[in-house]
Structure 1
């Protein structure tokens, strides 16, 4: 019971310990997750602000292009082109220094950009960029009429004030000129960024960054540009650093995608500090728990288990068991008194055994003293009568028989007596009665293999004496006594049969259930035999009386072979 109790205590402690570790681990990872989420939110906000700034700049550029397309000089060019040839109208526009106006307008936006006017009829361009024909290799229509143009020299984002015919670059609304504003994606990104690197502009799977020489950043950008991941954000490691990758695209302005990489290694000191704090708490908690378990085991569990073991030894009748323990407090008192109790029990048991030996010895001597006077008196009377009749041989035989019989009952003890000695004494006893009375016949059938078995003296003799007493003295018929000894079903069977007194079933029941149970103290002969049987061979032996046919009794003794020495 105590092992189960302490097993539950240990299980509960370890469960609490495991739950604490799990909760601490979850809180630790929650802290890391919160730190990363904060970095993600910060990076997303930065990209969102950058996106707004870029779109705002593009809107300003497109608005400027629109205002240029409505300038008085270009309106006068349309009028002049109707009165003069296209070349003459173009020369008049040049004379007004309109290219200077475009140059001034280009720098007024405070970023690297180009404003130009293309004249399809003359195939000539006014503006700050290279000739228009160098930018006609590829056009892709994007958001708000902004185009992504690319040629051998690079790529530009371009805005045209009029819709174009993609084949011959003429205005679809039949104007005589087309105003165009263009900006380099790298310059657009650099103009709006707050930091010097870490952000990429992704347009049509092309990457633009203000730091093309940062291989680490370019590697991260390629993950988005080449479609290697569909995640908007993820954590990656490179060059012993932790990087947070994020992607942002405004659904309302899908002109480009912003991708950013941020070194978040700076959060590691806090994480390491949290790890150290977490491991420190776990270590302290572990030490406290194991110390508590050690105290519980040393001061409570171990002494209690020792006391329990001692009680189990007592249940096995091992009263010599002593607890060797240095337990403290109340357990020291318990163990001390437990050992004292064991010592007292051992002493008491030995006293009881000694008293039983003395009692059995006294009972045997009392039985012998009860038999001897009456038996000796009758035998001496026979000798006196035979002497008067000059029956010398009978007198001699009787004297020798009495001598052998009394030598046996006065000198033998339990230690060296055998069944053969007991049977020889009984035969002598019967022979003495046979000489005194002509009405006694007896037979003995004992297997010779049983002769050497150790057997208490004077155990069967009282049974034979009862047969004679209640047979001859209560009847005038001849008395027959049969004594048998054999092994049957792992038991030694000894029986004394007689044809003496007629006995009723009620009397048989009374003998077995009252006299042999010790409830009738006036008949001590049979109960003493039963006690001696139990004392010498254990409680598994039995003594039972039954009716003989047609008259008399059968007294049966059963002793397990395993109990014989």
Structure 2
């Protein structure tokens, strides 16, 4: 029978499979959503950073173009001539005109800025911010047409500045320069654009100039929230991009303080700076993670409810079913005394009561059946033992009468002794498992009686002394000997011989009875074997059938009679087999008790007869 799993285990397996599938699918979809969001945010941040960079470059370009516009203005040349010729009135007039034009150009830009014109030959400076003094060293330390980050007194970045010489190549020969145009803008312009860019979005945005100068949107030079680890991580990431100037826009993933962040950057070549926008991944993933965590919490709650429901199902369904199954298995192995004592306080209690009632009824029925079978078996055995052939006694008495007429008193004495010993043993039914020695003595008396009646008969008994102490069923050997004499020796003229031998065969005892009769053919032996195994019919059974049935009833399969041609004599060999050590005090006592149930109140005379 194939092993099977209980329904409860299958249900739990299905629920676990469904829960696992849901968790795996939801995790997969959640991870896919995070990847999609990462891709979208990355692309969006790159686009926004690029747009911000274009706005900054557009404003810077507009400021740079003012130098080109002013170089074409004739008022500057006239101012320089009036200064050299000493015409103070004209100088004042032209200075006012140039200053107004500088202010007009300054106001035309989107950024707050300062514009100045230096006249190196006369040492004159005209500016929109008169508070800044003229610094000759500024001209010599600045590059031509390049935006440079200038620092204030404490070393922090202050503003961007660009100087343009007119003519352009006169930087190398200051004595040939007509004028130097200066444009500068404050870093607050950049910070305002950074603030407008980021607003309340997560993360932060920075302008990293010259690789080390950090400009944030708060008005401070370095955001305190940006720790040394963050600056180191972002700086290292940007340093890898410096080696690839062709990459003007890109994104990186960096680790800041043990947390991953997306870094989008855009290179502003005019300022030699990188516009950096970073967003912590946890901020971007927070909605999905929160939704996922809520799902997991809900799932855990559902699992807890499932466990509670499973426990209730186990206690109120599975355990009662298991108890019934356990009881049925007990019934299967023949233990009908098993009862279910536990109560489950539900509908199964009724089933338990009815199950116990059913077990009790089955136990009673089986007990009754066993008792009836034992009675029937005992009756069968008694009936087999009680088949008496009166002709044997009649013949013996006739033989005694004949001997008395001719005066053979010694023969009469021997016949009376052996006949009395024979019937004394056959009429004692108290001991159903005598020793083999007693059965051999009975057979000896029987053979001696036949030898007196049939003078041509002789016999031989060859047994081990150890076999004589084995127990055997009563009257199990005498019918076989009688069958050998009546159907084997008597029909044949001349002398006859009966040989009885015995030996051990493994755990079995084997006795053989051979005769010198005419024997039987293989076909006749096969037919006789078939008769030995047929049920008892109305005509009664022969002595060998009785012996075989008694052995089968007593010892079961493996015990009984077998028939074959004799190897020593000319007749038939009948072999009796039964297990060694199968008798003794316990079994003998049980047999005696069974016998006494049927023979109380009188003595029961029994013998095994031969028919046919």
Output the TM-score relative to the length of structure 1.
Answer: 0.80
Task: Please tell me whether residue 460 in structure 1 is matched to residue 463 in structure 2.
Answer: no
Alignment of 1:34-433 (within 5 A): 47=49, 50-76=52-78, 80=81, 96-97=94-95, 100-101=99-100, 102=102, 105-106=105-106, 109=109, 111-119=111-119, 121=121, 125-127=125-127, 128=129, 129=132, 130-131=134-135, 133-134=137-138, 136-137=140-141, 139=143, 146-149=146-149, 156-160=159-163, 164-165=168-169, 168=172, 176-185=178-187, 187-190=189-192, 193-194=195-196, 198-205=204-211, 206-209=213-216, 210-212=219-221, 214-217=223-226, 219=228, 220-227=230-237, 232=251, 234=253, 246-249=263-266, 256-260=273-277, 274=291, 277-324=294-341, 326=343, 339=356, 342-413=359-430, 416-433=433-450
* Cα-to-partner distance string for 1:43-74 (whole Å, 9 max, x where unaligned): 66764564344234223322333333333312
When residues 138 and 73 of structure 1 are mapped into structure 2, their CA distance, relative to the original with a 3 A threshold, is closer
C-alpha distance in 2, partners of 1:175/1:447? 149
When residues 344 and 547 of structure 1 are mapped into structure 2, their CA distance, relative to the original with a 3 A threshold, is farther
Of 281-290 and 51-60, the range deviating more from structure 2: 51-60
Query: Offset of 1:92 from its aligned partner?
Result: 6.2
Q: 8 Å contact 1:53–1:192 — kept in the other structure? A: no
Local SS of the residue matching 1:475: coil
Match among 543, 553, 571 for residue 552 of structure 1: 571
5+ residue gaps, structure 2: 241-249, 585-612
C-alpha distance in 1, partners of 2:39/2:457? 118
Q: 8 Å contact 1:65–1:115 — kept in the other structure? A: no
C-alpha distance in 2, partners of 1:541/1:119? 141
C-alpha distance in 2, partners of 1:138/1:371? 149
* Cα-to-partner distance string for 1:192-215 (whole Å, 9 max, x where unaligned): 633599432122313223322532
Q: 8 Å contact 1:471–1:500 — kept in the other structure? A: yes
Q: Superposition RMSD on alpha carbons, in Å?
A: 4.3
When residues 158 and 542 of structure 1 are mapped into structure 2, their CA distance, relative to the original with a 3 A threshold, is farther
Show the counterpart of 1:11: 13
Query: Offset of 1:159 from its aligned partner?
Result: 3.9
Q: 8 Å contact 2:432–2:474 — kept in the other structure? A: no
C-alpha distance in 2, partners of 1:164/1:562? 133
Show the counterpart of 1:22: 24
C-alpha distance in 2, partners of 1:470/1:492? 26
Q: 8 Å contact 1:360–1:532 — kept in the other structure? A: no
5+ residue gaps, structure 1: none
Show the counterpart of 2:534: 518
* Cα-to-partner distance string for 1:476-507 (whole Å, 9 max, x where unaligned): 33221112221123322121111123311110
Q: 8 Å contact 1:118–1:132 — kept in the other structure? A: no
Q: 8 Å contact 2:233–2:256 — kept in the other structure? A: no
Local SS of the residue matching 1:476: coil
Match among 483, 488, 504 for residue 505 of structure 2: 488
Q: 8 Å contact 1:472–1:500 — kept in the other structure? A: yes
Number of residue pairs matched by the alignment: 552
Q: 8 Å contact 1:73–1:93 — kept in the other structure? A: no
Q: 8 Å contact 1:471–1:501 — kept in the other structure? A: yes
C-alpha distance in 2, partners of 1:528/1:539? 16
C-alpha distance in 1, partners of 2:231/2:352? 78
When residues 63 and 10 of structure 1 are mapped into structure 2, their CA distance, relative to the original with a 3 A threshold, is same
Q: 8 Å contact 1:65–1:179 — kept in the other structure? A: yes
Relative contact order (alpha carbons < 8 A, sep ≥ 6): 1 or 2 greater? Answer: 2
Local SS of the residue matching 1:3: coil
Query: Offset of 1:301 from its aligned partner?
Result: 4.0
